[in-house]
Structure 1
Protein backbone atom coordinates (compact mmCIF):
# COMPACT_ATOMS: atom_id res chain seq x y z
CA UNK A 1 0.00 0.00 0.00
CA UNK A 2 1.34 3.39 -0.93
CA UNK A 3 1.98 6.05 1.67
CA UNK A 4 -0.59 8.35 0.04
CA UNK A 5 -3.32 5.69 0.31
CA UNK A 6 -2.69 5.37 4.05
CA UNK A 7 -3.83 8.98 4.37
CA UNK A 8 -6.63 9.00 1.80
CA UNK A 9 -8.41 5.62 1.76
CA UNK A 10 -10.57 6.22 4.83
CA UNK A 11 -11.44 9.87 4.07
CA UNK A 12 -12.34 8.82 0.51
CA UNK A 13 -14.59 6.07 1.88
CA UNK A 14 -16.73 8.65 3.70
CA UNK A 15 -16.73 11.14 0.83
CA UNK A 16 -14.23 13.60 2.27
CA UNK A 17 -10.83 14.88 1.30
CA UNK A 18 -7.92 14.40 3.68
CA UNK A 19 -8.21 18.01 4.91
CA UNK A 20 -12.01 17.82 5.28
CA UNK A 21 -11.67 14.64 7.30
CA UNK A 22 -8.93 16.17 9.43
CA UNK A 23 -11.18 19.14 10.16
CA UNK A 24 -14.10 16.93 11.21
CA UNK A 25 -11.86 14.72 13.36
CA UNK A 26 -10.32 17.74 15.08
CA UNK A 27 -13.78 19.19 15.72
CA UNK A 28 -14.47 16.04 17.79
CA UNK A 29 -11.03 15.88 19.43
CA UNK A 30 -11.25 19.18 21.31
CA UNK A 31 -14.61 18.52 22.96
CA UNK A 32 -13.54 14.95 23.77
CA UNK A 33 -10.43 16.25 25.52
CA UNK A 34 -12.56 18.68 27.54
CA UNK A 35 -14.99 15.88 28.45
CA UNK A 36 -12.10 13.64 29.48
CA UNK A 37 -10.58 16.34 31.65
CA UNK A 38 -13.96 17.01 33.28
CA UNK A 39 -14.37 13.27 33.97
CA UNK A 40 -10.87 13.07 35.44
CA UNK A 41 -11.52 16.00 37.78
CA UNK A 42 -14.95 14.57 38.66
CA UNK A 43 -13.32 11.27 39.63
CA UNK A 44 -11.38 13.00 42.41
CA UNK A 45 -13.82 15.80 43.21
CA UNK A 46 -17.26 14.26 42.60
CA UNK A 47 -19.08 17.48 43.49
CA UNK A 48 -17.60 19.16 40.39
CA UNK A 49 -18.61 18.63 36.75
CA UNK A 50 -21.57 16.42 37.65
CA UNK A 51 -22.85 16.08 34.07
CA UNK A 52 -20.23 17.80 31.93
CA UNK A 53 -18.57 14.71 30.45
CA UNK A 54 -21.74 12.70 29.86
CA UNK A 55 -23.53 15.71 28.32
CA UNK A 56 -20.65 16.39 25.94
CA UNK A 57 -20.38 12.73 24.92
CA UNK A 58 -24.15 12.61 24.24
CA UNK A 59 -23.90 15.77 22.12
CA UNK A 60 -20.98 14.39 20.13
CA UNK A 61 -22.72 11.03 19.68
CA UNK A 62 -25.84 12.75 18.33
CA UNK A 63 -23.70 14.83 16.00
CA UNK A 64 -21.83 11.78 14.73
CA UNK A 65 -24.84 9.55 14.06
CA UNK A 66 -26.78 12.35 12.41
CA UNK A 67 -24.06 13.14 9.88
CA UNK A 68 -25.28 12.59 6.36
CA UNK A 69 -23.95 9.30 4.98
CA UNK A 70 -21.66 9.71 2.02
CA UNK A 71 -21.70 7.54 -1.08
CA UNK A 72 -19.70 4.40 -0.46
CA UNK A 73 -19.98 4.69 3.31
CA UNK A 74 -20.68 1.14 4.45
CA UNK A 75 -19.68 1.56 8.07
CA UNK A 76 -22.05 0.30 10.72
CA UNK A 77 -24.01 3.12 12.26
CA UNK A 78 -25.01 3.16 15.90
CA UNK A 79 -28.72 3.83 16.48
CA UNK A 80 -29.52 7.48 17.14
CA UNK A 81 -31.83 6.50 20.00
CA UNK A 82 -30.40 4.93 23.10
CA UNK A 83 -32.68 4.17 26.06
CA UNK A 84 -29.85 4.92 28.49
CA UNK A 85 -29.39 8.50 27.27
Structure 2
Protein backbone atom coordinates (compact mmCIF):
# COMPACT_ATOMS: atom_id res chain seq x y z
CA UNK A 1 0.00 0.00 0.00
CA UNK A 2 2.81 2.43 0.87
CA UNK A 3 4.43 1.76 -2.49
CA UNK A 4 1.23 2.68 -4.33
CA UNK A 5 0.90 5.91 -2.33
CA UNK A 6 4.50 7.00 -2.71
CA UNK A 7 5.07 6.06 -6.37
CA UNK A 8 3.08 8.98 -7.77
CA UNK A 9 4.51 11.40 -5.22
CA UNK A 10 8.00 10.34 -6.22
CA UNK A 11 7.12 10.68 -9.92
CA UNK A 12 5.95 14.27 -9.46
CA UNK A 13 8.69 15.17 -6.98
CA UNK A 14 6.36 16.28 -4.20
CA UNK A 15 5.83 15.37 -0.57
CA UNK A 16 2.37 14.28 0.53
CA UNK A 17 1.62 17.76 1.91
CA UNK A 18 2.89 19.51 -1.21
CA UNK A 19 0.81 17.21 -3.39
CA UNK A 20 -2.29 17.72 -1.25
CA UNK A 21 -2.00 21.50 -1.55
CA UNK A 22 -1.24 21.42 -5.30
CA UNK A 23 -3.95 18.92 -6.22
CA UNK A 24 -6.53 20.67 -4.04
CA UNK A 25 -5.65 23.99 -5.63
CA UNK A 26 -6.09 22.54 -9.11
CA UNK A 27 -9.37 20.96 -8.11
CA UNK A 28 -10.78 24.12 -6.60
CA UNK A 29 -9.85 26.15 -9.68
CA UNK A 30 -11.46 23.52 -11.91
CA UNK A 31 -14.66 23.60 -9.83
CA UNK A 32 -14.72 27.41 -9.97
CA UNK A 33 -14.14 27.42 -13.75
CA UNK A 34 -16.91 24.84 -14.16
CA UNK A 35 -19.34 26.98 -12.19
CA UNK A 36 -18.42 29.96 -14.34
CA UNK A 37 -19.02 27.86 -17.46
CA UNK A 38 -22.53 27.15 -16.22
CA UNK A 39 -23.00 30.87 -15.57
CA UNK A 40 -21.75 31.54 -19.10
CA UNK A 41 -24.28 29.03 -20.44
CA UNK A 42 -27.11 30.98 -18.86
CA UNK A 43 -25.65 34.42 -19.61
CA UNK A 44 -23.51 34.03 -22.77
CA UNK A 45 -22.09 37.55 -22.45
CA UNK A 46 -20.37 36.67 -19.13
CA UNK A 47 -17.10 34.78 -18.64
CA UNK A 48 -16.53 34.28 -22.36
CA UNK A 49 -12.93 33.09 -22.00
CA UNK A 50 -12.75 32.01 -18.38
CA UNK A 51 -12.77 28.27 -18.97
CA UNK A 52 -10.25 28.31 -21.81
CA UNK A 53 -7.89 30.59 -19.86
CA UNK A 54 -8.21 28.39 -16.77
CA UNK A 55 -7.44 25.26 -18.80
CA UNK A 56 -4.40 26.94 -20.38
CA UNK A 57 -3.04 28.04 -17.00
CA UNK A 58 -3.65 24.66 -15.38
CA UNK A 59 -2.01 22.88 -18.31
CA UNK A 60 1.04 25.12 -18.03
CA UNK A 61 1.32 24.49 -14.32
CA UNK A 62 0.60 20.78 -14.38
CA UNK A 63 2.17 19.52 -17.58
CA UNK A 64 4.65 22.01 -18.97
CA UNK A 65 6.40 22.86 -15.69
CA UNK A 66 6.48 19.22 -14.63
CA UNK A 67 7.89 18.19 -18.01
CA UNK A 68 10.60 20.88 -17.68
CA UNK A 69 11.48 19.71 -14.18
CA UNK A 70 11.65 16.10 -15.39
CA UNK A 71 13.93 17.07 -18.28
CA UNK A 72 16.18 19.10 -15.97
CA UNK A 73 16.69 15.99 -13.85
CA UNK A 74 18.16 14.25 -16.88
CA UNK A 75 20.51 17.06 -17.94
CA UNK A 76 24.14 16.17 -17.31
What TM-score, normalized by structure 2, do the two folds share? 0.72
2:58 corresponds in structure 1 to 60
**Structure 1 unaligned regions, length at least 5:** 72-85
1:46 corresponds in structure 2 to 44
Deviations 1:13-71 (A, max 9, x none): 22222222112111211211111111111122211111111111111112221232285
**Count of aligned residue pairs for this structure pair:** 70
Does 1 or 2 have the higher relative contact order (CA < 8 Å, sep 6+)? 1
What TM-score, normalized by structure 1, do the two folds share? 0.66
More helix by share: 2
1:70-81 maps to which residues of 2 (within 5 A)?
none
- In the aligned structure 1, how far is the partner of 2:52 from the partner of 2:36? 10
1:15 corresponds in structure 2 to 13
1:75 corresponds in structure 2 to none
